[in-house]
Amino acid sequence: MKPYKNISKIALVASLAAGLSLPVLSAETIKVGVLHSLSGTMAISETTLKDTILMLVEDQNEKGGVLGKQLEAVVVDPASNWPLFAEKARGLIEKDEVDVIFGSWTSVSRKSVLPVIEELDSVFFYPVQYEGEESSKNVFYTGAAPNQQAIPAVDYLMNDIGVERWVLAGTDYVYPRTTNKILKAYLKAKGVADSDIMVNYTPFGHSDWQTIVSDIKSFGSEGKSTAVVSTINGDANIPFYKELGNQNISASDIPVVAFSVGEEELSGLDTGPLVGHLAAWNYFMSVDAEENDEFIDKWVSFIGDEDRVTNDPMEAHYIGFNMWVKAVEKAGTTDSSAVQDAIIGVTTPNLSGGVSAMMPNHHITKPVLIGEIQSDGQFDIVWSTSGLIAGDAWSDFLPGSKDLISDWRNPLRCGNYNVKTAKCSGQNY
Partner 1 sequence: MKYLTCILITISGLLFSLQSNADLASFDNTLDQLTTKKLSTKLEIIEQIINSQHPRTEFILNSILDGKVYYLKSNKNVLFANKEKNKYVTKSLLNDSPLGVYSKRKLKKVGINNKIRKKIEQALAVLYLYHADESVRLKAVKDKYDYVTQELFDVIGLLIKTEKSEDVRDAMKIAINIYLLEDSNPVKRINAIENLKDSLEPTVKTRLKKLINNDSDERVKLKASQALVEIQSRTDIFKTLEVIFFGASFGSVLILAAIGLAITFGVMGVINMAHGELIMLGAYTTYVVQLIMPSYIDISILVAIPAAFIVSGLVGILIQQGVIRHLHGRPLETLLATFGVSLVLQQTVRSIFTPLNRAVESPEWMSGALEINGILSLTWNRLYIILFCLVVFAALVLVLKKTSLGLQVRAVSQDRDMARAMGVRSNWVDIMTFGLGSGVAGIAGVALSQLTNVGPNLGQSYIIDSFMVVVFGGVGNLWGTLISGFGLGIINKFIEPWAGAVLAKVLILIFIILFIQKRPRGLFPQKGRSAGG
Q: Which residues bind partner 1 (CB under 8 A)?
A: 38-39, 41, 43-44, 47, 161, 172, 200-203, 205-208, 210-212, 214-215, 218, 221-223, 235, 238-239, 242-243, 245-248, 251-252, 255, 264, 267-270, 275-276, 306, 372, 374-376, 378, 380, 382
Closest approach of partner 1 to the CB of residue 270, in Å:
5
Closest approach of partner 1 to the CB of residue 248, in Å:
6
Angle at which helices 336-343 and 312-331 cross, to 10°: 110
User: Based on CB atoms, which residue is closest to partner 1, 13 or 303?
Assistant: 303
Instruction: Please say whether the beta carbons of 209 and 171 come within 8 A.
Output: no
User: Based on CB atoms, which residue is closest to partner 1, 15 or 252?
Assistant: 252
Positions of E strands within 112-240: 124-126, 139-141, 165-171, 197-202, 226-231
* CA dihedral of residues 361, 366, 372, 373 (deg, nearest 10): -80
Q: Kindly give the pairing relationship between strand 414-418 and strand 404-407.
A: antiparallel
User: Based on CB atoms, which residue is closest to partner 1, 119 or 293?
Assistant: 293
What is the DSSP track for 289-319? -HHHHHHHHHHHHHHT-TT----HHHHHHHH
User: Based on CB atoms, which residue is closest to partner 1, 47 or 333?
Assistant: 47
User: Based on CB atoms, which residue is closest to partner 1, 45 or 340?
Assistant: 45
What is the DSSP track for 222-243? SSS-EEEEEE--GGGHHHHHHH
**Three-state DSSP state, 251:** coil
- Give CA–CA dist 142/375, Å, rounded: 29
Closest approach of partner 1 to the CB of residue 44, in Å:
5
User: Based on CB atoms, which residue is closest to partner 1, 59 or 253?
Assistant: 253
**Of 102, 92, 13, which is closest to residue 56 (Cα–Cα)?**
102
Closest approach of partner 1 to the CB of residue 309, in Å:
11
User: Based on CB atoms, which residue is closest to partner 1, 77 or 131?
Assistant: 77
- Give CA–CA dist 119/113, Å, rounded: 10
- Give CA–CA dist 112/89, Å, rounded: 10
User: Based on CB atoms, which residue is closest to partner 1, 111 or 308?
Assistant: 308
**Three-state DSSP state, 43:** helix
Closest approach of partner 1 to the CB of residue 79, in Å:
10
Closest approach of partner 1 to the CB of residue 221, in Å:
4
- Give CA–CA dist 160/280, Å, rounded: 14
**Of 32, 7, 29, 30, which is closest to residue 17 (Cα–Cα)?**
29
User: Based on CB atoms, which residue is closest to partner 1, 276 or 360?
Assistant: 276
Closest approach of partner 1 to the CB of residue 134, in Å:
25
User: Cα dihedral sign for 24, 28, 30, 31?
Assistant: negative
Closest approach of partner 1 to the CB of residue 57, in Å:
22
| Cα separations in angstroms, 180 against 149, 176, 397 | 12, 6, 11
Closest approach of partner 1 to the CB of residue 260, in Å:
14
Q: What is the 3-state secondary structure (H, E, C) of 252-281?
A: CCCCEEECCCCHHHHCCCCCHHHCCCEEEE
